[in-house]
Amino acid sequence: MSMLDNAIQSIQIGMEDFHEEDERRVLSAIRNLYAGILLLFKYKLQQLSPDGSDEALLKTKVLPAIDPASGEVVWVGKGKKTVEVHDIIDRLNTLGVRGVDWKLLNALQGIRNDIEHYFSPLPIERMKEAIANSLHLITQFCEPHLDERPVEILGQECWDLMLSVTTVFDAELASCQTNLRSVEWPFQEVLDAMDHMVCPECKSRLIKAVEPTAHRDAITFMCQSCQSESLYIDVAGHAVEISMASVNHWRARQGDEPATCICPECSYDTLLVHENECAACFFEFEYAHCEWCEEALSIEERLYSEGTCGYCQNRYDRMMAE
């Protein structure tokens, strides 16, 4: 059986398991779905591997060898270990596969990993999210890059079920996002982190603010998936930390200081240096600027000084010593 047949079968089995709506089968459904999607991408890597390279693009380890016929250097796959998600993404990217939203694959991997460590009943909504992500990935990938129409390879029944689940999930997600967008967030950085807001209990993106008119730490959330209620600090802390990590990454590449630091109060990396306030718990340093020269204090100075910058403190110490 070809790798493509394996991929299709795995996705079909995943969807059959979902149909049963039985908790234990949901688990195997997500495993199969995820495995199937990965196989689709691996199939492309297999196809792109040069002849006689022992499927080099699929292998974690690739070594140079001399082709006995031509005497030229060729890259050959070694061992049994095959590429994992980040290699798959890297390789397909450099091979010119465009138009696939890899964030969806990362999110799918996240759901797959979560279910392995999840002990209480798995909310069915997480399964729906996995199906919706898979469908979007299949749509973006199959026809443009495999020259296959999804409905033709997966079969009408499997495809229709995926479509109907996705339609419902996407509508729920859109309604949650409309709700979250209507909240008056205390900082622009929290609004920018909206796509990373998830239920702290089940990690579902289907959360809504209970009172969209509430302010700051009075904002609470209700999960549409597992029905648990959560606090502003837990949702915003996690989301802002993730979104600021990429902001800080870009700043570092340009030689700039990070825009956030670890908050001494809540431990999230969400203390907005410019605002001198934590986006998660609203902790503020007593001093953000030097009392004497009014220069912005560094994080160290905010933590340990009595409101003076190192320069002024030095000058003062020297003066006192004279």
Tell which residue, 4, 33, 12, 13, has the closest CA to residue 147: 4
**Cα 275 to Cα 289: distance, rounded to the nearest angstrom:** 11
Residue of 92, 107, 266, 273 that binds Zn ion (CB under 5 A): 266
Residue 240 within binding range of Zn ion, rule CB under 5 A? no
Residue 278 within binding range of Zn ion, rule CB under 5 A? yes
For Zn ion, the binding residues in 141-200 under the rule CB under 5 A are 199
The single residue listed with the structure tokens 């709506």 is: 21
CA distances from 169 to 31, 43, 128, 234, 292 (A): 19, 28, 6, 24, 57
Instruction: Indicate the residue among 54 and 265 with the shorter CB distance to Zn ion.
Output: 265
Instruction: Indicate the residue among 142 and 266 with the shorter CB distance to Zn ion.
Output: 266
The single residue listed with the structure tokens 């309604």 is: 175
Cβ-proximal residues to 119 (8 Å cutoff; 6+ apart), any chain: none
- Least Å from the CB of residue 10 to Zn ion: 27
Q: Which DSSP string do the residues of 23-81 spell out, in sequence order?
A: HHHHHHHHHHHHHHHHHHHHHHHHHHSPTTSSSGGGEEEEEEEE-TTT--EEEEEEEEE
Residue 309 within binding range of Zn ion, rule CB under 5 A? yes
Residue 217 within binding range of Zn ion, rule CB under 5 A? no
Residue of 7, 39, 197, 226 that binds Zn ion (CB under 5 A): 226
Our separate counts of H helices and E strands in the chain read 11, 8
Provide the residue type at 306 as one letter: E
| Cβ contact 43:7 at 8 Å | yes
Instruction: Indicate the residue among 7 and 233 with the shorter CB distance to Zn ion.
Output: 233
Residue of 16, 54, 201, 275 that binds Zn ion (CB under 5 A): 201
Instruction: Indicate the residue among 78 and 289 with the shorter CB distance to Zn ion.
Output: 289
Binding segment for Zn ion (CB under 5 A), chosen from 39-47, 85-93, 151-159, 225-233, is 225-233
Phi, psi of 271 (to 5 degrees): -80, 110
Residue 273 within binding range of Zn ion, rule CB under 5 A? no
Specify the 3-state DSSP secondary structure of 181. helix
Residue 118 within binding range of Zn ion, rule CB under 5 A? no
- Least Å from the CB of residue 279 to Zn ion: 8
| Cβ contact 222:253 at 8 Å | no
Instruction: Indicate the residue among 41 and 232 with the shorter CB distance to Zn ion.
Output: 232
Tell which residue, 171, 233, 175, 240, has the closest CA to residue 200: 233
Instruction: Indicate the residue among 16 and 201 with the shorter CB distance to Zn ion.
Output: 201
Residue 265 within binding range of Zn ion, rule CB under 5 A? yes
- Least Å from the CB of residue 109 to Zn ion: 19
How many chain residues interact with Zn ion (CB under 5 A)? 19
- Least Å from the CB of residue 122 to Zn ion: 11
- Least Å from the CB of residue 16 to Zn ion: 26
Tokens, residue 160? 């229709």
Residue 312 within binding range of Zn ion, rule CB under 5 A? yes
Task: Give the residues lining the site for Zn ion (CB under 5 A).
Answer: 199, 201-202, 204, 223, 225-226, 263, 265-266, 278, 280-281, 283, 290, 292-293, 309, 312
